[in-house]
Amino acid sequence: MSQAFSKGNKSFWLISGAAVILMAVVMIAASSSRQAQAAVSPARPNSLLGPAAIFTDTYGANNSKSAAFDLASYNLIPCPNGAPVVHDATFYQTGLSTPAFEQDWFKIQLGSQLVYTFTVVQQVPSDLQFNVQVFDPVNNLIASQASQITSSISFYSASGGLYYLQLSATNAGTITNPEDKTYQMFVCSSPINITPTPPNQATPTPSVLTPDAYAPNDNLTESASPNGTRGTASFIAVGQRIDNLNYVPYTGRPVDSKTTSWFEFYGRGGSIYQITTLNVQPGVETVLYVYKPVADVNAPVLTLVTPIGGYSNPNNRYIAGARGSQTSFQVPNGADGLYWIQVTNIDPSPRVNGQSYSLQVSEILQAATPGPSPTPLPATLPPPTLTPFPGSPDRFEPNGNFDIATLIAVNVQYDNLNFVPFQPLSPNDTDNDFYKVSVKQGIYYTCQTLNLGPGVDTNIIIYNQDRVGIGGNDDISPEERAKGNFASRFSWLASYTGHAYILVGEVNPPRASEAGGHTYSFRCDIGLPATPTPTPTPFGTGLPGTAAPAATFAVPTPVPPEPTMTPFPTPRTAQNLPVRQINVSTPTPAPQPTAVPRAIVLSVQIFNDVNKNGLLDPGEGISGVSVRLVDEQSGTPLAQTVTDADGRVNFAITNPGPVRMSVPMFGYSTLINEPAVTVRIAVVTDVTLPDRIP
């Protein structure tokens, strides 16, 4: 006997004896025999109800695995005969005020040593694209098919059990008629009369999901008590990292029932703690909560701790695109006790092995411990012993990349900054500091480092809001470098309104354990630096060790707005006309014909060409740039306006001769002598700057 079944785009044959039988799925009309199914069909959606109606089916809100509709009462028949087991089902979610896309789940008890075929077909022909997935009793995905108008999947059930079927349609939202979202599902079975596993059809190996060693800790009460296999409370020590944590339900609890884990740790008054979820694998995305101590774990009153600056509580995705979480807080003095950590998973993926994460608690600033009474100093102090600089990060850390750059104000100086890395992993780690400042189009800005500590040599790089380098500076000038002043300073004209990023680092970065003394000040000012007036330099100054004079800034005198040009009613007479003597005896020359005005249509685009493709892309336009038109021969003003929010301006004028177009801001001028012209003025950055110093 021979049997055939399909999986994906492949066909398989099972041979036993001489007879050959072709197994197929036959979809019959609704009027055909339905001896295999006794369910009551729900009412078909009525298109006359209007687009705001809610269409549901008798299979309920089965849009999750835990709410899968049980097909236990439906009798399956042998292939190839078949009738719809599910029909008039829809992809509208129940109970919403407006129709919304959903996925449908079904579960069915299947027998052993059988090949089953699921077929899904549209109730009303349309462009609906089905995605189908089949899961075995141990939650393994054993068959799938995506984006098919009619989807048919065959698979082998070796030992039988409860199987799950997931149906979805990624383009359901594009189908306008509700009745076009309905479908039928056919299920049929074929016995296998041979013992071996069908060819190319590997028997799934059961994969047992095991809860982590801290389960059960689904709530605070469980976490506080010696429960389950761990025999102790879910306690994590400060400085400890726990690996291989997961969201597999504890033994005997329903599948998908676990979404939260609780842990406790002891916090000391005055100390700053950082809690992090790391090594987060696909299938898990954590949200982290930290709570104050509670008086009664059986009836807890939960209060979130107050995070320190730069952190949030609760926290999710502390780094853009990451699945992990991180928060930091300081325990108030006298508030020692057991603090609680709640880690919730918001990824709805089915539970499989390998979906793990790690949890770590660190003490980043220890509480001050009272020391012995100070010993009176001797009359003569011994020479100081050289020790490494202390390694305490400045108040703006962590600010080591664009995403966590420190927002600063202009015309304000920030002192006592340093290059101590935040939580270095080794003594050789280095630090870069990122800042961002609000800028306005058409304004000059100057950023600089000052008050450098011994041995500090800074470098700064300026980036626009798209994180494209504008320019940078190592030393202010050769003269300052010769004096031993290795500060940096850079000035630029903002061509947009938004944020600018500033990267500050050291040319020769020190080790983490030596960076505490590498201090500096930083500020950004409006305007260009004032040119210092030369003064006589006394003999001996300018040598190493001589303090460099502090630079001062002069805010430029505001430039008066450009005058609005008033068009003259008639062209003015050209200036500097040549003068020649007229001989009265010479016949008067015939007058020349008057030039006929012609129409000129001009389109101007001014933009920051970030991707350097020579085209004005969305978001690149520069607004408020003045564009002028004058007559080329006479200099007569013809038109003046400024670019709009997209960096565009259009002119439609009449003039008998050529027209000169100019953009004063960029020193650009060109002659227009055609009736229709498009002029693109692209501002580009020729140098690609690094995102780290050095």
pLDDT(357) > 80: yes
Chain region(s) in the chain for CATH 2.60.120.380: 2-191, 220-365, 405-532+544-554
Rounded Cα distance between 655 and 675, Å, is 10
- The HSE-up count of residue 41 (CA atoms within 13 Å, CB side) is 16
Q: In which band, very low, low, confident or very high, does the pLDDT at 111 lie, cut at 50, 70 and 90?
A: confident
Question: Is it true that domain 598-683 has CATH number 3.40.30.10?
Answer: no
Mean pLDDT lowest among 72-76, 371-375, 593-597, 630-634: 371-375
pLDDT category, 685, cuts 50, 70, 90? low
Mean pLDDT over 379-391 rounds to 47
Q: What is the percent of the chain with per-residue pLDDT over 70, rounded to a whole number?
A: 69
CA dist 228 and 540 (Å) reads 79
Confidence class of residue 245 from pLDDT cuts 50, 70 and 90? very high
Give the SS3 label for residue 52: coil
Confidence of residue 429 (pLDDT cuts 50, 70, 90): confident
CB 476 within 8 A of CB 489: yes
* The pLDDT of residue 486: 92
Using CA atoms, how far apart are residues 510 and 680, in angstroms rounded to an integer?
47
> Which of 286-325 are b and which e, b meaning 16 or more Cβ less than 10 Å from the residue's Cβ?
bbbbbbbbbeebeebeeeebebbeebebebbebeeeebbb
Q: Which of 94-103, 300-309, 425-434, 552-561 has the lowest mean pLDDT?
A: 552-561
> Minimal CA–CA distance to 120: which of 175, 180, 168?
168
Is the pLDDT at 424 greater than 70? The verdict is yes
Q: What mean pLDDT is predicted for residues 602-626?
A: 89
Q: What is the mean pLDDT of residues 288-295?
A: 93
In the predicted model, what is the mean pLDDT of residues 106-134? 81
pLDDT at 140: 82
Q: Which residue has the higher pLDDT, 8 or 494?
A: 494
pLDDT score for 536: 39
Q: How confident is the model at residue 650 (pLDDT cuts 50, 70, 90)?
A: very high
pLDDT for residue 614 is more than 70? yes
Give the pLDDT mean for 263-280: 91
| Confidence tier at 503 by pLDDT (50, 70, 90) | very high
Banded model confidence at residue 393, pLDDT cuts 50, 70, 90: confident
Mean pLDDT for the stretch of residues 246-251? 88
More confidently predicted of 510 and 577: 510
92 C-beta neighbours (distance < 10 Å), count: 22
Choose between 222 and 622: higher pLDDT.
622
Which stretch, 54-63, 68-77, 330-339, has highest mean pLDDT? Answer: 330-339
Position with higher pLDDT, 533 vs 29? 533
pLDDT band at residue 309 under the 50/70/90 scheme: confident
Q: What is the mean pLDDT of residues 449-463?
A: 92
Positive or negative, the CA dihedral 350, 355, 356, 357 is negative
Q: What percent of the chain has pLDDT over 90?
A: 23
Would you say residue 191 has pLDDT above 50?
A: yes
Selected residue with higher pLDDT from 654 and 199: 654
pLDDT for 483 beyond 70: yes
Concatenating the DSSP letter of every residue in 192-248 gives --SSSPPTT-PPPPP------TT-S-SSHHHHHS--TTT-S--B--TT-EEEEEE-P
CATH 2.60.40.10 residue ranges for the chain: 598-683
- pLDDT reported for residue 570: 42
Of 658 and 87, which is predicted with more confidence? 658
User: Is residue 363 predicted with pLDDT exceeding 50?
Assistant: yes
Name the CATH topology of 405-532+544-554.
Jelly Rolls (2.60.120)
| Strand partners of residue 166 | 105, 133
Q: What is residue 345's predicted lDDT score, i.e. its pLDDT?
A: 92
Of the candidates 617, 621, 614, 630, the one whose C-alpha atom is nearest the C-alpha of residue 671 is 630
- Cα–Cα distance between 445 and 643 in angstroms, integer? 23
Residue 513: what pLDDT?
72
pLDDT for 258 beyond 80: yes
Give the mean pLDDT of 219-226: 82
On average, the pLDDT of the chain sits at: 74
For the domain covering 2-191, report its CATH number. Answer: 2.60.120.380
The pLDDT, as a whole number, for residue 547 is 43
pLDDT of residue 101: 60
Domain 220-365 CATH assignment equals 2.60.120.380:
yes
Please answer whether residues 92 and 55 qualify as being in contact, where contact means their C-beta atoms are separated by less than 8 angstroms: yes
For residue 528, the model assigns a pLDDT of 87
Residue 2 has what pLDDT?
34
Using one digit for the tens of pLDDT, what is the confidence trace for 137-146? 888 888 877 7
Tell me which amino acid residue 631 is.
Answer: D
For residues 139 and 589, the model is more confident at: 139
72-76, 184-188, 411-415, 483-487: range with lowest mean pLDDT: 72-76
The C-alpha atoms of residue 672 and residue 676 are separated, in whole angstroms, by 9
